[in-house]
Amino acid sequence: MQLKEFSAWVCIDGKEVPEYSIEVSEADKTVTCWIASELGKKFSVHWKSSFSGGTCGQVKMDGTECGGSLMRYPSTAYIDGVTDGRTLKPFVFSSLKLTDDDADLKAAPLPELGVIELYIYPSQESRLSRPSIAPCDLSTLKVHERSKKAVTQQIGLAPAEKLPKALGFVHAVRTGPNLVRFLFKYRPLDILRANGIAPPLVQPKAPTPAPPPEAAKRVKKENKPIIKQEIGEGKKRVGIKREASDVIDLTENSGLRGKKRKIEGFIQGEVIDLT
């Protein structure tokens, strides 16, 4: 997706995923699309900026703040999980936890469930700081089974992985309103197809089966030239039938009966009487 100086995309297992039904609202500075989520797969959010000043990109997963990245000049950035500077818990598509407790049915709705949000705003670097990111727990969402509205997955965190190198942290100070918002609405691919958002699965054409051996022999036999034999008075007439009733008799009545003649210059497919 793209709007002015900014573009954004999502990668699953390192591969960029297709985006469906992209909608752009320049008035709201918002771009929205649908993507296919894959249960148990890790993913990352990427963006590119050609904005002349410093910016900060922040991500929300199902409405929960999950950190960001500061860009001091035009470049690219990405976020693939929650980190404390030494370890990383990657983002992963997880099963939605459902409940049948009616108390949860009365709870506040979660309009941002099923949405990955990236918002970018102008900012300045303030100071270096020690890790002070607020805890981000994405595994506690519970939705009543009667109000999930076709949402079957949520964003979770995979087990922590040790980083090869410790990360430093920068405190970013916002200097203006959002420059752009990218919203990735995620659902399983079969749900997107069922709702006409993603194209249907193209079934490969079945190869034409070969005719059984007996049928092949029958076809071959039917295509053979038809040999017509006629027995007349005092001679045998042998002809090859090219078309119905198209037999050429080259026998002459000048006393050459019973003698072999050499015939030259005939056209392939014509019928020759060699009597």
Write the pLDDT tens digit of every residue in 41-66.
999 999 999 998 899 999 999 999 99
Radius of gyration of the chain from Cα atoms?
39
In this structure, the dihedral spanned by the alpha carbons of residues 77, 183, 52 and 58, taken in order and rounded to 10 degrees, is -60
Count of helix runs (H) and strand runs (E) in the chain: 3, 20
Counting Cα atoms < 13 Å in the Cβ hemisphere of 106 gives: 3
Amino acid occupying residue 175: T
- Measure the N-to-C terminal CA separation of the chain; round to a whole number of Å: 85
Counting Cα atoms < 13 Å in the Cβ hemisphere of 227 gives: 8
Contact 121, 174 (CB under 8 A): yes
Residue 260 pLDDT > 60, yes or no?
Answer: no
* pLDDT the model gives residue 74: 85
Amino acid occupying residue 57: G
Determine which helix (DSSP H) or strand (DSSP E) holds 169, and give its type and residue range.
strand 169-174
pLDDT single digits (tens) 108-143: 457 788 999 999 999 988 765 554 555 677 766 667
Q: For the full predicted model, state whether its pTM sits above 0.75.
A: no
The chain-wide mean pLDDT, for the chain, equals 78
* pLDDT the model gives residue 138: 77
Q: What share of the chain is helix, strand, coil (3-state, %, to 5)?
A: 5, 45, 50
pLDDT band at 272; cut points 50, 70, 90 = very low
Residues in Cβ contact with 28 at an 8 Å cutoff, skipping those fewer than 6 apart:
181
The arithmetic mean of pLDDT across residues 3-22, rounded, is: 96
Largest Cα separation within the chain, whole Å, is 123
Distance CA 223, CA 218 (A): 9
Lowest-confidence pick of 75-79, 80-84, 261-265: 261-265
pLDDT-above-70 percentage for the chain: 65
By C-alpha distance, which of 101, 99, 83 is closest to 91?
83
* pLDDT the model gives residue 217: 58
Q: How many CB atoms lie within 10 A of CB 94?
A: 18
Lowest-confidence pick of 74-78, 125-129, 223-227, 267-271: 267-271
Would you give the DSSP letter of residue 220?
Answer: H
* pLDDT the model gives residue 33: 98
Give the DSSP per-residue string, 27-86: TTTEEEEEEEE-TT-EEEEEEEE--SS-EEEEEEETTEEEEEEEESSSEEEEE-EEE-SS
Mark out the alpha helices in the chain (DSSP H runs).
102-105, 189-194, 213-222
CA angle at residue 186 from 181 to 187, to 5 degrees? Answer: 160
